[in-house]
Amino acid sequence: MRILVQKYGGTSVAGLDRMKQVEARVKKGLAEGFKVVVVLSAMSGETNRLLGLARQWSANPDLSECDALVTTGEQVSVTLFAMLLKDAGIKCRSVMGFQIPILTNNNYGRARILEIDNAKLLDMLDEFDVLVVAGFQGVSCHGRLTTLGRGGSDTTGVALAAALSADVCEIYTDVKGVYTTDPNMCSTARKLDRISYDEMLEFSSMGAKVLQIRSVEFAKKYNVPVRVRSTFCDDPGTLVTQEDELMEDVLVSGIAYDKDQCRITVFNVMDCPGVAAAIFSPISDAGILVDMIVQNTSRDGRTDMTFTVSRTNLEKTLEILSRDNKDIGAVEVQHDLNVCKVSVIGVGMRNHSGVASMMFTCLRNENINILMISTSEIKITCLIEEKYLELAVRALHDAFGLDRAGGDRVC
Ligand code: ADP
Ligand code: ASP
Ligand code: MG
């Protein structure tokens, strides 16, 4: 049995006209001899609408109920779409996450997939030509509904493709593929024909929401070829795949940005062994991801510690810090929401220096101050003031020649 997994994002199912376009693509897959597993998101805006309803009761609504609430968005999409296919005479059925089941841990709002039993799915695929599966949702070992984090339908798609050894996982969205930067922010952004799993991981972790990071982790781990393409045109899109030598030839493949950031500074903590652990362990125990960290030089046995977390985690982080204030000896905690991250990404950086200085020079030429810096083998990130974000993205895109095919190649 040849299986094709196709995941469609919120804009692709926002209304019956668009669902008709999805229907045409599914029919094409069937005509090519595949059994098709279609993973759908909620209609665009629906998850936000539901979360807005939950926040009418409280700023921090119960997370397990929130998950059960937002899974209804995907339930609406898959049932409506299955009706459309049945009317067209296609043998299909809708499938919720718990019916497979997609088993997750109970980290509500950001659950991780633990296991997908493919036996039931394969049985269903014997009986039906198309399965219309609700993205984003799973079920915990306690039988509660869970969700996989924003953008989590990408992960459902890739995880199902891995579990079913599908030929490919196609991710259909509102842009033609993965670009050198967000095409909605930079008009000269260029679509990439291919990108390595590692680069895509950096793009996603640095804020490019075209693929959720966990979907790329799955794709890399299980070697699933992922093709990102548009629902609304026939462009072949971008293949996310294993790295090859040609990819290393390109110094920088793109620019990513992340607005969901804030900077926290803890002033005047004691400068002694164990302080970093005392600050960051409770934050990490609360499931909060800390990214950039800078410790100032010591003055009279005291120092300042500055780090970034996502805006959604700001309140929780401040609560933890004020609870633990005595233990870390901090005098004051300040935070800043007017910041964002901009990153330059490329596997070619592994063997070539000079990218960091090009980035810093470009930002200097635009008179943009760098607040913090972090690096990995294939990425350099700067924290800057949010008001300069678009300017920084466009200037960096230009400086690295990303509008030209091949960009700046390694010499
Ligand atoms: P969907 O609802 O289909 O899952 P998303 O909104 O989650 O779509 O992701 C697609 C969006 O990702 C695009 O509309 C684009 O604005 C944004 N994006 C950010 N960076 C990139 C990039 N490098 N390439 C393509 N799209 C990007
Ligand atoms: N509907 C969910 C969201 O808006 C999941 C997804 O679209 O991938 O985040
Ligand atoms: Mg998405």
Give the N- to C-terminal CA distance of the chain in Å, as an integer.
Answer: 47
Q: What is the pLDDT of residues 68-80, one digit of tens each?
A: 999 999 999 999 9
Distance 174 CA to ligand 3 centre (A): 10
Which pLDDT belongs to residue 374? 93
Token pair in block for residue 369: 């101050």
Token pair in block for residue 291: 């990214």
* Closest protein CA for atom 15 of ligand 1: 182
Contacts of 131 (CB under 8 A, 6+ apart): 36, 37, 38, 92, 93, 95, 121, 124, 125
Distance 136 CA to ligand 2 centre (A): 6
Which pLDDT belongs to residue 131? 98
Which pLDDT belongs to residue 248? 60
Q: What is the pLDDT of residues 210-243, one digit of tens each?
A: 999 999 999 999 999 999 999 999 999 999 999 8
Cα dihedral across residues 216, 218, 221, 224: positive or negative: negative
Which pLDDT belongs to residue 247? 64
What ligand is nearest to the CA atom of residue 42? Answer: 2
Distance 297 CA to ligand 3 centre (A): 41
Task: Provide the residue type at 239 as one letter.
Answer: L
* Gyration radius (Cα) of the chain, Å: 23
Residue 203: strand, helix, or coil:
helix
How crowded is residue 109: how many other Cβ atoms within 10 Å of its Cβ? 18
* Closest protein CA for atom 6 of ligand 2: 151
What ligand is nearest to the CA atom of residue 71? Answer: 2
pLDDT score of 396 more than 80: yes
| pLDDT-wise least confident of 120-134, 142-156, 324-338 | 324-338
Q: What is the pLDDT of residues 287-310, one digit of tens each?
A: 899 989 999 888 888 899 999 999
Task: Provide the residue type at 114 as one letter.
Answer: L
**179 CB within 6 A, ligand 2:** no
Residue 254 CA: nearest ligand 1 atom is 23
**155 CB within 6 A, ligand 1:** no
Distance 216 CA to ligand 1 centre (A): 14
Query: How confident is residue 347, by pLDDT bands cut at 50, 70 and 90?
Result: confident
What are the residues facing 379 on neighbouring strands? 345, 376
Name the percent of the chain lying above pLDDT 90.
81
pLDDT score of 353 more than 90: no
pLDDT score of 407 more than 70: no
Distance 314 CA to ligand 3 centre (A): 23
Token pair in block for residue 339: 């910041």
Token pair in block for residue 401: 């020649």
- Give the pTM: 0.92
Name the percent of the chain lying above pLDDT 70.
97
Query: How confident is residue 408, by pLDDT bands cut at 50, 70 and 90?
Result: very low
CB 36 within 8 A of CB 167: no
Contacts of 59 (CB under 8 A, 6+ apart): none
Q: CA 315, 318, 323, 324: dihedral to nearest 10 degrees?
A: 140
* Closest protein CA for atom 10 of ligand 1: 210
Query: How confident is residue 173, by pLDDT bands cut at 50, 70 and 90?
Result: very high
Determine the Cα angle at 160 with ends 158 and 161, to 5°: 60
Instruction: Report in angstroms the alpha-carbon separations of 369 from 154, 234, 339, 383, 385.
Output: 35, 42, 11, 9, 8
**136 CB within 6 A, ligand 2:** yes
Average pLDDT for 100-119: 95
Distance 340 CA to ligand 2 centre (A): 22
Residues with CB under 5 A from ligand 3 (ion): 9, 151
For residue 269, give the H/E element and its range: strand 262-270
**8 CB within 6 A, ligand 2:** no
Helix runs in 128-244, H state only: 153-163, 197-205, 213-222
**269 CB within 6 A, ligand 1:** no
Q: What is the pLDDT of residues 302-332, one digit of tens each?
A: 899 999 999 989 998 999 998 877 777 777 8
Which pLDDT belongs to residue 266? 93
For residue 103, give the H/E element and its range: strand 102-104
The preferred substitution site among 67, 96, 136 for testing ligand 2, maximizing ligand atoms within 8 Å of CB, is: 136
Q: What is the mean pLDDT of the chain?
A: 93
